[in-house]
Amino acid sequence: MTKINITYTLILAILFHCSLFSQAKNEVEIRVTAAQFPDIALTYLKGLPENTKPIKLFKETNNEKSSFEAKFKLRKKHYSIEFNKEGILEDIEIYIKKRHINKQTFHKIDSYLTKNYSKYRFIKIQKQYRNTTNTNTFSVLNEAIKNTDVSNIFYETITEITIEGKREILEITFTKDGVFSTSQPVNLESYEHVLY
């Protein structure tokens, strides 16, 4: 192999590595006050049940966008409600264990992960209720609080996978029926809030 070929190969390898790193999801969360939170989102939060534990407010930034998030505990479950910059509801996530996913759905998730990776281990699983309208709606919150089985449910996982001996952290999302939806590398160092 000539020096030019070796140099060219090294440059390609470095660019490929940088490309993978730049695609990794980097999340940064900072606590904010109610005055820094969108007014329309605060109005939405006023509709939460009275026994909701203290609500913590955050501004979240990742590679793609900035958003606002409210975290709280209700009936021993951890909730996270995400709003866009304008205060429009994006989704509601509930931290769950794999036993909370019905067996048929989990079997499909497990089959996908087993087929595509040598090993896998869940770091975090969230049941996600997505807002499919263009305006805030209390119905999405009611569905999430009542754990209603609706079509806009997804399962978002932070999963440690091994492929060809290499370990990686991925955010992998599945539909309510356990069908693969999306996958994205995660920079776990920027994901300190991953365990809520």
Give residue-wise pLDDT tens across range 119-165: 999 999 999 999 987 666 888 888 898 888 888 899 999 999 998 88
pLDDT > 70 fraction of the chain, expressed in percent and rounded: 81
Q: Could you state, in order of their start, the residue ranges of all structural domains in the chain?
A: 3-195
List all residues 6 or more positions away from 151 whose beta carbon is below 8 Å from its beta carbon: 176
3-22 pLDDT, tens per residue? 444 444 444 344 444 444 44
**How is the beta sheet containing 77-83 ordered, strand by strand?**
28-31, 56-61, 66-74, 77-83, 89-96, 119-130, 153-163, 166-175, 180-185
Residue 31 reports pLDDT greater than 70: yes
> Residue 27 — φ and ψ, nearest 5°?
-110, 135
Architecture of domain 3-195: Roll (3.10)
pLDDT in tens, 54-93: 999 999 998 778 999 999 999 999 999 999 999 999 999 9
Sequence-distant (6+) residues with CB within 8 A of 114 are 120
**Pairwise CA distance, residues 54 & 25, whole Å:** 28
